[in-house]
Structure 1
Amino acid sequence: MKQFNIKIIISFLGLTSMLNGVFMLIAVPFSIYHNEPEQLGILQAGLTTIIIGFLLWFFNRNAKKNLGKKEGYLIVTLGWLMLSFTGTLPYVFTGAIPNYTNAFFETISGYSTTGSSILTDIESMPKGILFWRSATHWIGGMGIIVLTVAILPLLGIGGMQLFMAEAPGPSADKMHPRITETAKRLWIIYFSLTFTEFFLLKIAGMTWFDAINHAMATMSTGGFSTKNASVAHYNNFPIIQYIITFFMFVAGTNFILTYFVLKGKVRKVLNSEEFKYFFFGILGLTIIITFLIVNHQDPNLVTTVNHPKPWGETESAFRHAIFQITSVLTTTGFVTADFTMWNSLATMLMFSLFFIGGSAGSTSGGVKIVRHIIMIKNSLLEFKKQLHPNAIIPIRYDGNPVPKNIVYNILAFFILYMGIFITGSILLTLFGLDFQSAMGAATSSLGNIGPAIGSVSPVDNFEHLSIPAKWLCSFLMLIGRLELFTVLVLFTPFFWKKC
C-alpha cells in the first residue's frame, strides 16, 4: 500500500512560492523608478510570499526524495494554485484590484496566459503593477514548474514526473535525454527570444517599458497589454504589429523546432507536419480574410495608415487579418481590430480558430494542431476500414506510426474538451450571460485565448461577469492551461486509492 509523499509536495509548494516572491520583487524597481506609492505594497507582497514559501519548505526540507506520478500531478496542480493565490497579493496589498475575486481572475488569467481582463482603464494602473501583470504571463508561459525542474536535481529530486505532468501533450520529443537539461535549454531559448523582441520593439518606436511588457506577453502567448486599446494603439506603426505577429508565430511553434532552427537543422522543421499545417493554415486564412475585409466590409472599420489607395486599404486589411489570425490561433489574444465587426463569414472563421490552438510544445493553449491532424487521419482511416475491414493500416505522423494509446488519448481529450466547453457554456448562461457571450467566455477561458465574442469581444472585457461566472472561468483557465487530464484526474476516485 503506497501513501502520498505529502512532505515533498508541501516542500515543492514552498519552493514555488519563494520563486514567485522573487519575481514579485523584480517589479519593485519599476515602481520606484516611476515614484509610485504602490512600491511598498509590492515589496510587502513579495516578502510575504517568500516567507510563506520558506516556512513550507523549511519544515519539510528533510522529506524523502521519492516522487511518483501521483505526486507529480498534485504538485503541478497545487503549484499552479499556489502561484495564483500568492500572485494576487500585489494587487490586494496595493489596492490596485481590491476585490479578491477580480484579483484572482486577473492573476490566473495571467499565469494561464489567457489574457482575459477585468481592468477597465489599464493605462491608469501603476507601472509596477502592470509589470507584475505581464510577469505572470511570462512565468506561466513556459511554466515555473519547468523552471523548478531544472534546479530540483540540486535538491536530490528527479524531475521527469513534473515535466510530463506540466507538458502532457501528445509529443514526447526532447532536446536532450536529461529532462533537467531540456528545461534549462527551453528557458534559455524563451529568455533569448523575449529579449530579442523587446529590443526590436524598442527600436520600432515603443517605450522601453511598453516594449518589455509586450515582449513578455507575446512570447508567453498571453496577451496582456499596457494600453487600453491593446496593440490597436499602434495601428499607425505597422512595423510594431508585424514584429509582434512574427514573434506570436514563433511562440506558437513547437519550441523543439525553434531549437533545431537555432542549431541549423532547418530540414527537421520543414519536414514537420504540424509546422506545415500551422504555417500554411495562417497563410491561407490570411488571404481569405484579407479578401473578405477589402471586398465585403466598409474599409473604414479597419484602421488604415496613410498609404496611397488601393495599397493602403489592402496592406491594412492584410496586416489586421494576419495579426488577428495569428493572435487567436496561438491563443495570444492581442487585438488590433474588432473581428466581430467584420462580415459574418470572417467572424465565423475567426471563431472556429478558438477550437484549434497552436503547436504542441509551444506556450499556446487550445486543443493543439497535432491533435487535429491525428483525429482527421483517424477519421479518414475509418473510411478505408469500411472497405478493407481486415486490413491493418496504422496512422502515420511525420512518417512514423502513431501508437493506438496515443490515438485513444487524443480522442478522449477532444471529447472531454468539447464536453467541458458545452457544460461551461450552459453554466455561464445560468450565471447571467447571454448565449453568444457564454459560448465566447467558455471557449476563450478553456482555450486560454482572451478576447472572444458577444459581451466579451475584443473591445470589451470580463469585468461585468458575476462572481460565480468569474470563478468558473478561472477554473476553465486552469484546466485548459494544464491540458485537462492533469487537473481532472484529481477528481477521480481511483486517483486517491492506495496502491
Structure 2
Amino acid sequence: MINFRPVARVIAILLAVVGVMMWTGVPFSVYYGEDPMPLLLAGALSLLSGGICFLIKNPQGIPIRKREGYMIVVLSWVSMVASGMLPYLFSGVIPTFPEAIFETVSGMTTTGASVLTDIEIQPKGILYWRSLTQWIGGMGIIVLTVAIFPLLGIGGIELFAAEAPGPTSDKLHPRISETAKRLWFIYVGLTAVLFFVLWALGMNKFEAVNHALTTMATGGFSTRNASAGDFSPVIQYALILFMFLAGVNYTVLYLSFKGRFSDVWKSEELKAYSLVVLLLVVLFTVRVYYATGATDLEQSFRDSFFQIVSLITTTGFVSADYTSWSTSLTIICFVLLFLGACAGSTSGGIKIIRHLVFLKNSYLEFKRIVHPAAIVPLRLNGEIVQGRVINHVFNFLLLYLLIFVVGSVLLAAMGLDFRTALGAMATSLGNVGPGIGKVGPVDNFAWLPGHIKLFLSGIMIIGRLEIYTVLVLFTPFFWRLN
C-alpha cells in the first residue's frame, strides 16, 4: 500500500523551494519599476501550500519505496505547475488557465514552446521567472531535493531513479545525496560561467542571466521575440558551445573536470553525439550555402551549426527558419526532434544511447541469424549490456512511437492539419519547442485552442519524465497491495 505521508512531506519541501525561487524575481521587478506583488503573492501561496503539506506527520525511518518515488515525481510536477503558473495569472501576463498551464509546463519540462506573442513587452520579473522555471526543471528539482533528504530521514535512491533520464544509472558517488550535490555543482557552475561569458560578449546583465538559465537547462526561452537570431555571431557561437555541453552526460562532464579524459573518451554515446553533430553541420552548411543561394558561407555554417545543436539538445533556440531552407533539410530537422542528446544530460528526446543500443543490437541480429548457436552479446563502452536493459530500450522506443502516432491522430481529429499535428506532437513529446507546420521556428503556440494546449501539456510531462514514470501510475499493478 502506498504511504502518502512521505509523499506529502517531499511535496511540501518542493513547494517551499519553488516559493523562495519566485521571490528571487522580486529584485528584478523593483529595479525595473514594476509591480512585485504577483511574485510576492505567488511565492507566499506556494510556501503556505508547502507548509500545509508539511504538517502531515511522517514517522522517522519509513523509506520511500519505488511506488512512493514515482508518486512523488508525478505529483511534484503537478504541484510545481500549479504553483508556477500563479505569477502569470496574478500579473495578467497570461490571464487564462489553459495558457498559463501550457507556459508553465513548457518551462518546467524545458520544452520552450510559448503562448506569448510579444515577449519583449512583458514585465522583467515575470520573464525572469519564466526562465527560472526552465532552470528548475533542467536537471530536475527532484534531484536537488534528494541532496537534503538525509535531513528529513528519508532515503532518496528510488526517487532519483524515477527522475534521472536514460537507461543507465551511473552514479558519481555511492551516496545518492552526494551524487545530486555534484550534479548540481556542475549545473550551477556552468550556468554562472555562461552568464559571465554572455555578459562579456555584449549581452546586458538581465538578458545574460535569462539566457544562461535557459541554455544550461536546454530550454530555449528567450527574452527576444526573434530568439537567438537577435544577437551577434560571437554570442551565438557561445550559445552553441554551452548548448552542446548541456547535452553531454553529466557523469562525463564530471570526469572531464577531474581530468580523467581516458574515461571520458570511452563513452560511445559521447562519440556518437559528437559525430552526428559534425556530419550534420557539414551536410547542412553545404546544402544551405548552395541550395538557398546564400552569399555568406560563415553565416550558412553558423546557422546550420546553431540549429542542429539546438534541435539535438532539445534547447529550441532559433537563429534561422530551418523550414525555409529546403524540404530535405526540413525532414532531417523533423527527425532530429526524436534524437535527443546524451542520457544523464538536461536534454529531452529519446537520447542517443537508446539509438545506439537499438542500432547495435539490430546489427548483431544479422550475425545471430548466420550463427544461431553463437552467443553474441551486445557491448557498450566495453561492457555487456544486460538483456533486461535491451528489452527496456526496445519497449521504450515502441511506446514512444505509439504515443507519437496516437497523439498525432488525436491532434488531427481536434482540427490540426497533418504537418502541424506531427510537428506539435513531436516537439512536445521530445521537449524541443519549435516543430514544423504552424508550430515551426518562427511560429507560436498561442493560436491553438485551450483543449489542445492542455493535451500538449500532458504530453510534455510524459516526455520529460520519460513515459514510464507517468504511465505506470495508470496500470493496475501499481495499485495492488503487494
Q: TM-score range by the shorter chain?
A: over 0.9
CA contact (8 A) 2:98 2:451 kept: no
Q: Does 1:20 align with 2:2?
A: no
Q: Does 1:279 align with 2:274?
A: yes
1:392 to 366, 375, 379: 375
Q: Distance in 2 between matches of 1:405 and 1:30?
A: 50
Which residue matches 2:29? 31
Which residue matches 1:258? 253
CA contact (8 A) 2:84 2:104 kept: yes
Which residue matches 1:154? 151
CA contact (8 A) 1:444 1:450 kept: yes
CA contact (8 A) 2:165 2:344 kept: no
1:470 to 453, 460, 464: 453
CA contact (8 A) 2:9 2:53 kept: yes
Q: Does 1:143 align with 2:126?
A: no
Q: Distance in 2 between matches of 1:349 and 1:41?
A: 42
Report the Cα offset of residue 59 of structure 1: 2.8
Q: Distance in 2 between matches of 1:106 and 1:490?
A: 25
Alignment of 1:88-487 (within 5 A): 88-234=85-231, 237-299=232-294, 313-487=296-470
Query: Residues 88 and 352 of structure 1: is their aligned pair in 2 closer, same or farther, counting only changes over 3 Å?
Result: same
Task: Give SS of 2:33's match.
Answer: coil
CA contact (8 A) 1:8 1:64 kept: no
- Give the gaps of 5 or more residues in structure 2: none
Report the Cα offset of residue 366 of structure 1: 0.4
Query: Residues 201 and 168 of structure 1: is their aligned pair in 2 closer, same or farther, counting only changes over 3 Å?
Result: closer
CA contact (8 A) 2:61 2:153 kept: no
Amino acid at match of 2:9: S
CA contact (8 A) 1:176 1:182 kept: yes
Amino acid at match of 1:445: S
Deviations 1:129-156 (A, max 9, x none): 0000000000000111001000010111
CA contact (8 A) 1:137 1:217 kept: yes
CA contact (8 A) 1:145 1:166 kept: yes
Report the Cα offset of residue 466 of structure 1: 1.2
Q: Distance in 1 between matches of 2:206 and 2:182?
A: 27
Report the Cα offset of residue 168 of structure 1: 4.7
Which residue matches 1:80? 77
Q: Distance in 1 between matches of 2:151 and 2:393?
A: 35
Report the Cα offset of residue 31 of structure 1: 0.5
Amino acid at match of 2:39: I
CA contact (8 A) 1:5 1:64 kept: no
Q: Distance in 2 between matches of 1:199 and 1:61?
A: 43
Deviations 1:319-356 (A, max 9, x none): 00010000000000000000000011111111111111
Q: Distance in 2 between matches of 1:66 and 1:123?
A: 47
Q: Distance in 2 between matches of 1:322 and 1:180?
A: 37
Higher mean displacement: 260-269 or 214-223: 260-269
Report the Cα offset of residue 65 of structure 1: 2.7
Higher mean displacement: 68-77 or 346-355: 346-355
Q: Distance in 1 between matches of 2:166 and 2:479?
A: 23
Q: Distance in 1 between matches of 2:179 and 2:448?
A: 40
Report the Cα offset of residue 11 of structure 1: 1.4
Report the Cα offset of residue 181 of structure 1: 0.2
Q: Distance in 2 between matches of 1:63 and 1:57?
A: 14
Deviations 1:62-110 (A, max 9, x none): 4763211000000001101111111001111111111111000000000
TM-score (norm 1): 0.95
Report the Cα offset of residue 61 of structure 1: 4.7
CA contact (8 A) 2:60 2:153 kept: no
CA contact (8 A) 1:18 1:49 kept: yes
- Give the gaps of 5 or more residues in structure 1: 300-309
TM-score (norm 2): 0.99
CA contact (8 A) 2:61 2:154 kept: no
Higher mean displacement: 4-13 or 176-185: 4-13
